[in-house]
A and B are shown apart, each in its own frame.
Chain A
Amino acid sequence: MSDTNTRRVISVIVMNESSVLARVTSMFAARGYNIESLTVAPIPNSDKSHITIETQGNARVMEQITKQLHKLIPVYKVIEHEEMVEKEMVLVKFPIAENLSDIASLASAYNGGIVNVGKEMVVAQVADEPRRVKHFIEAAERYNPCEIVRGGVVAIER
């Protein structure tokens, strides 16, 4: 079994009931597994919720994560994504004194744009693959961002 730590994205379909998220996250905490990012929202027209967890570990850890998640009573399904479309959103706030057209072109290069302009700040939004979101944040550094909020990964199997 491979000992190397790899990044994985897991979708967990759960009953949409109180404390279900706590059951999932406390399983990770209790067994010493890692959560890099987590998103959760109800699945439309159902009594279920979709949790997307970005995690990492070796093959044995990943297998245990999947099995331990399955073991939780309100968990319907665990999908270890292989062939997936994954997206992450980020909001970045810049001072209005920065070069707005540069920021707008940069954001549009990453499937985004300026979504709010205030008296002193502008807010840019980007939704793209997590790897590209990281690149965008690196590129945006030179425009002195004052706040960066990442949304966590959502994924869907192709």
Chain B
Amino acid sequence: MQMSGAQMVCEAIIAEGVKTVFGYPGGAIMHVYDEIYKQDGFEHILTRHEQAAVHAADGYARATGEVGVAMVTSGPGFTNAVTGLATAYMDSIPLVVISGQVPLSLIGTDGFQEIDAVGISRPCTKHNFLVRSLEELPRILKEAFYLARSGRPGPILVDIPKDITVDIGEFNYPDSVHIPSYKPTYKGNNRQIEKAVEAIKKAKKPLLYIGGGAVLSNAYKLIRELAEKTQIPAVETLMARGVMGAKNPLLLGMLGMHGNYASNMAMSETDLIISLGARFDDRVTGKLSEFAKYADIIHVDIDPANIAKLVDVDYPIVGDVSTVLKKMLPLLDDVNTARYQAWRDILKRYDELHPQSYVDSDEVIKPQWAIERLGELVGEDAIITSDVGQHQMWAAQHYPFDRPRQWINSGGLGTMGFGLPAAIGAKRAYPEKTVINITGDGSILMNVQELITAAEYKVPVINVILNNHFLGMVRQWQTFFYEKRYSETDLSFQPNWKALAEACGGIGYDVTTKEEFDAALEDAIKQNKVCFMNVAVNRFENVLPMVPAGGALFNMMLPPKTEENGGEK
């Protein structure tokens, strides 16, 4: 069928089953927007910044497991989108981002709004394309979706010169993809799997180390089955919260820089790490030479480059976590669960010794209380997104995540401003679910313009701002490591949050007491409008436990058991 390049873009998006596209028009992408206007195969959400468009597509992808799609124009439209691409890249999120480019004849001439998009995005995309002719456009679009979702997922950029969107040609959307140089391994080597199973049976202190790959692979049922069957305790990374389910007795908690005591001690003392879709990030391992010194390592990862990148691995298994576990589980029928009883007892004692705790207050709302209260009030029904900083860590520590894809945050890149647009994307995917963005008074301002988007499209996401009038995580480091010189972290000068929300068509709540917190949340859910819950929290609360950067995982600063007298308030 004859059609323009712009139409081909729309037809491909429809053929891929995409229902929602997030984006922002501009000169070089206008022909595509003209076709968007004419079609009714998908809806387009106009964010108010290109970065937010990509984050919204990202939130949509994380919530659903499907490919998210964003569309931006050339030059500044594209450069604004780069942070979104990098965020998705670091967390292996499947996205297709389509950017306009100046016409082919102008490429390389420093034309208006020209920038080398494929050059800039090369290190922060799984792959990218500059379309050079109309003939290759259908194939490239097909490959983009395939590459985004297959193997280790990731964002793909398709940069399309404006004249190609105008040209008319034959559209045959390919049924299949043929990229001979790209063959991801899903299956996992049988011999290696058998060896790993033997190691599990011989271990005394095995530990399941679950990462974001378990979420991407939709492996949570198999992982819960593995834990149940073997009675091996488990720790989750920041990206894997919800895989085991908060109520699972075998879950020790989150490990790493802000992991709980039992999790970090388990990792330090285990004799066999069973790593499922985790990548031994520096925020997880702490000082590498002290990391899991007594452990052999089984590393299951779909990306061979992750294996033996940072730690030596004894049982490398390149494959998809789900596929590998399906092979592994039957081999563990005769596992002796009693073998690990002593180990479970030790870890239980560790958890009793230093549970994940904080000292609550009657005078001021503690941020941890706010998170736990959210968990009590909306719990497993809600989808929680977050920005980056203290609030993110408290949410990861204290929210009772019950299922994967319930917790959406920027782990690898740590992008402030991610939460609100990601929440919009998640809410668009699941309009019936309560979607809450847990954020801080620093982060929320980094994409605050998206209030307008949420109001216009009636996407009622609830933004719980844990407001400590500080750039809290940096302030915490300054307290601990910079002799309390609070360089440029005091955010005392603030907007009127309520008025700001209202100015954009939302609702604002100022919350200073626990009663107000409950009332505001109840009203926010009822009102069904985008809102700010501006929650005044204890200014100098710290995220604990904490492993100082570069320190050994077992050397944690632990939370106080009672309120410290004379502490900063």
In the complex, the answer to whether A22 meets B122 with C-beta atoms within 8 Å is yes
State the CA gap A14–B181 with chains docked (Å): 8
Whether A73 contacts B127 by the Cβ 8 Å rule is yes
Q: A22–B182 Cα gap in the complex (Å)?
A: 18
Indicate if A98 sits at the interface (CB-CB under 8 A): no
* Chain A residues whose CB sits within 8 angstroms of the CB of B195 once the complex forms: none
Give the chain A neighbours of B119 by CB distance below 8 A: 19, 22
Residues of A within 8 A of B179 (CB): 73
Instruction: Using A23-B122, A26-B123, A60-B308 as known contacts, list a sample of 18 further A-B pairs with CB atoms less than 8 Å apart, ordered by residue number in A.
Output: A1-B312, A18-B130, A19-B122, A22-B119, A22-B122, A26-B122, A63-B308, A64-B305, A67-B309, A70-B304, A71-B304, A71-B305, A73-B126, A73-B147, A73-B179, A73-B181, A73-B182, A76-B180
**In the assembly, what is the distance between CA of A15 and CA of B307, in Å?**
26
- CA of A19 to CA of B159 in the docked complex: distance in angstroms? 14
CA distance A74 to B118 in the complex (A): 15
Chain A proximity of B209: nearest CB distance (Å): 20
Query: Complex Cα distance A63/B311, Å?
Result: 13
Judge whether B132 is part of the interface by a CB distance below 8 angstroms.
yes
**Closest partner residue, chain B, to A75 (CB atom):** B181
Produce 1/0 per residue, B175-199, CB < 8 A to A: 0000111100000000000000000
Q: How far is the CB of B84 from chain A (nearest CB, A)?
A: 19
Q: Which one of A26, A64, A70 lies within 8 Å of B309 (CB-CB)?
A: A64
Confirm or deny: B236 has a beta carbon within 8 angstroms of a beta carbon on chain A: no
Query: Closest residue of chain B to A14, judged by CB?
Result: B181
- The answer, yes or no, to whether A30 is at the interface (CB within 8 Å) is yes
For the complex formed, measure the closest distance between the CB of A30 and the CB atoms of chain B, giving whole angstroms: 5
Query: How many Å lie between the Cα of A75 and that of B181 in the bound state?
Result: 6
Residues of chain A within 8 A of B132, CB atoms compared: 18
Interface flag for A37 (CB, 8 Å): no
Residues from chain B with Cβ under 8 Å of A76 in the complex: 180-181
Q: Which residues of A contact B402 (CB under 8 A)?
A: none
Task: From B181, B305, B308, give the contact of A15 (CB < 8 A).
Answer: B181
Q: Does B50 contact A (CB under 8 A)?
A: no
A-B pair count, CB < 8 Å, reads 40
**B303 pairs with A71, CB closer than 8 A:** yes
In this complex, what residue of A is CB-closest to B182?
A: A73
- The interface on chain B, measured as residues whose beta carbon lies within 8 A of the other chain's beta carbons, has a size of 20
Quick one: closest A residue to B304, CB to CB? A67
In the complex, chain B residues whose CB is within 8 Å of the CB of A68: 305
Chain B residues 77 to 122 lying within 8 A of chain A, measured CB to CB, are 118-119, 122
SS of A interface (majority)? helix
Question: For residue B126, which residues in chain A have a CB less than 8 angstroms away from its CB?
Answer: 73
Instruction: List residues 259-303 of chain B with CB under 8 A from any CB of chain A.
Output: 303
23 example contacts (A-B, Cβ-Cβ < 8 A) are as follows A1-B312, A14-B181, A18-B130, A18-B132, A19-B119, A19-B122, A22-B119, A23-B122, A26-B122, A26-B123, A60-B309, A63-B308, A64-B305, A64-B309, A67-B304, A67-B309, A68-B305, A71-B303, A73-B126, A73-B181, A73-B182, A74-B181, A76-B180
Whole-angstrom distance between the alpha carbons of A60 and B123 in the complex?
21
Closest 7 CB pairs of A and B: A67-B305, A73-B127, A76-B181, A30-B123, A67-B304, A73-B182, A71-B305
List of A residues within 8 angstroms of B127 by Cβ: 73
Contact across chains for B118 and A19 when beta carbons are under 8 A apart: yes
- Per-residue 0/1 for B123-141: is the Cβ within 8 Å of any A Cβ (1 yes, 0 no)? 1001100101000000000
A10 to B303, CA, bound (A): 21
Distance (Å) between the CB of A103 and the closest chain B CB?
44
A71 to B181, CA, bound (A): 10
Q: Closest chain B residue to A47 by CB distance?
A: B180
Bound: A153/B531 CA distance, A: 63
Q: Which of A58-83 contact B (CB under 8 A)?
A: 60, 63-64, 67-68, 70-71, 73-76
In the bound complex, how far is the Cα of B307 from the Cα of A60, in angstroms?
Answer: 11
A70→B181 CA distance, assembly (Å): 9
Question: B residues 141-166 with Cβ under 8 Å of A?
Answer: 147
A31's closest neighbor in chain B, by CB? B123
The answer to whether A19 and B130 touch (CB under 8 A), given A30-B123, A76-B180, is: yes
Q: Which residues from chain B contact A19 at a C-beta distance below 8 Å? A: 118-119, 122, 130
Nearest CB in chain A: distance from B258 CB, A: 27
Q: How far is the CB of A11 from chain B (nearest CB, A)?
A: 15
Q: How far is the CA of A57 from the CA of B308 in the complex (A)?
A: 15
Instruction: State in angstroms the CA–CA spacing of A67 and B180 once bound together.
Output: 17
Among A1, A15, A68, A73: residue with most chain B CB under 10 A: A73
In angstroms, Cα B311 to Cα A1, docked, is: 10
Cβ of B303: which chain A residues have Cβ within 8 Å of it?
A: 71
CB distance from A69 to the nearest CB of B (A): 9
**A19 to B119, alpha carbons, bound, how many Å?**
9
Query: Would you give the shortest CB distance from A18 to chain B, in whole angstroms?
Result: 7
CB distance from A106 to the nearest CB of B (A): 44
By a CB distance below 8 angstroms, the chain B residues around A73 are 126-127, 147, 179, 181-182
A70 to B308, CA, bound (A): 15
Q: How far is the CB of B37 from chain A (nearest CB, A)?
A: 33
Nearest Cβ on chain B to A140's Cβ, whole angstroms: 40
